[in-house]
Amino acid sequence: MCCLPTPCHRLPRLSEELEVDLWIKRDDLTGFAMGGNKGRKLEFLMAEAVAQGADAVVTCGSAQSNFVRQLGAACSVLGMECHAAVMALPYSAIHGRPAHRGSTMGGNVLLGEWLDVQLHLYPDDDWEVLYTHAETIALELEESGLIVYRIPVGGSSPLGAYAFVRATEELGESFDVVVTPCSSGSTHTGLAYGLEGPRVIGVACDPEPEILDDLRTLLEGLHALIGEHDRGRLRTRLPELEFRLEWAGEAYGVPSPEGMAALELLAQTEGIFLDPIYSAKAFAGLLAMIRSGEVGGRVLFWHTGGLPAVFAEA
């Protein structure tokens, strides 16, 4: 479904301005259903769904989830029902509810309607509550006789992370540092596992330190999966995960001032768009680390896409 390999190219104007050798991996251009990082995960997840004979998939996320959009398109191709438990803006109760309201119109919601995604919209609440709603939907579908394939938020199962281990093989150049947005975690985890040379830094899009525990669990699951099915790619030691929280902003789904400044800088130097929720925050982190001298040499930014959600912000 994806158009791979995605381009990887230098950013000449920003490199000169920042006095580094800055490159970008264009996973905004994975092509399928308007691109983004989720397409890579779906190549593997949907193969597993097909192998299990699934009639329906169930996942969850925010109403403007990029994953739900691409999953809906994959379900169209494969003739499966697509169900997603969503909230305008799920949040982490222990960190409080953000004042910002997510949008349930336009953007990915509109594209989801065109794809006949069954969006089950619930009032905003904690992520744990959202997971429970998704499980209720899955059980109801099973009771009606369907075979259901469950996918965690953002496609972040070990198999989803494996897609990014494989993605690292597209890099022809070698880099000193790779920076990626990190939210549900399989992009960061897979890249960190797959890249033994460079320092891989995941910039959090949610200000929640507990996510690091989820990343470690995901990494162990990935290691076990590779040990079982792909021993040629097995690492002798698990990588340390470098997970940075400084640029996550106020909450998940809430744009940050630093992120918006980074988005405008990339647009105005290189003509490339970032999305405010994920890639802009990570790019803000990248810029800050370069400017402080913490990061230098040959640096790669992994662009994860996310543009369709911009059109819900109006």
Ligand X SMILES: *Cc1c(COP(=O)(O)O)cnc(C)c1O
Give the helix ranges, DSSP H, for the chain. 12-18, 38-51, 66-78, 107-114, 127-143, 158-167, 186-194, 211-229, 257-270, 279-291
Angle between helix axes 158-167 and 211-229 (nearest 10 degrees) is: 70
- Select the span of 3-11, 103-111, 290-298, 300-308 touching ligand X (CB under 6 A): 300-308
Asked whether position 72 contacts ligand X by CB under 6 A, the answer is: no
Asked whether position 2 contacts ligand X by CB under 6 A, the answer is: no
Which of 154, 207, 276, 285 binds ligand X (CB under 6 A)? It is 154
Q: Is 55 exposed, middle or buried (0-12, 13-18, 19+ CB in 10 A)?
A: middle
- Select the span of 34-42, 72-80, 122-130, 223-231 touching ligand X (CB under 6 A): 34-42
Residue 176, phi then psi, degrees to nearest 5: -85, -35
Residue 212 beta carbon to ligand X: minimum distance, rounded to whole angstroms: 12
- Could you give the residue numbers annotated as active site? 65
Please, are residues 41 and 134 in contact by the beta-carbon 8 Å criterion?
A: no
- Select the span of 95-103, 179-187, 246-254, 291-299 touching ligand X (CB under 6 A): 179-187
Residue 93, phi then psi, degrees to nearest 5: -55, -35
Asked whether position 37 contacts ligand X by CB under 6 A, the answer is: yes
Residue nearest ligand X, CB atom distance: 306
Asked whether position 64 contacts ligand X by CB under 6 A, the answer is: no
Q: What gap in Å lies between CA 40 and CA 63, rounded to an integer?
A: 21
Q: How many CB atoms lie within 10 A of CB 222?
A: 26
Asked whether position 279 contacts ligand X by CB under 6 A, the answer is: yes
Output 142 or 273, the one with its CB closest to ligand X: 273
Residues 182-201 touching ligand X, rule: CB under 6 A, are 182-188
Nearest to 310 by CA among 274, 284, 267: 274
Asked whether position 59 contacts ligand X by CB under 6 A, the answer is: no
Residues 249-278 touching ligand X, rule: CB under 6 A, are 275, 278
Residue 252 beta carbon to ligand X: minimum distance, rounded to whole angstroms: 11
Residues that bind ligand X (CB under 6 A): 36-38, 66-67, 154, 156, 181-188, 275, 278-279, 304-306
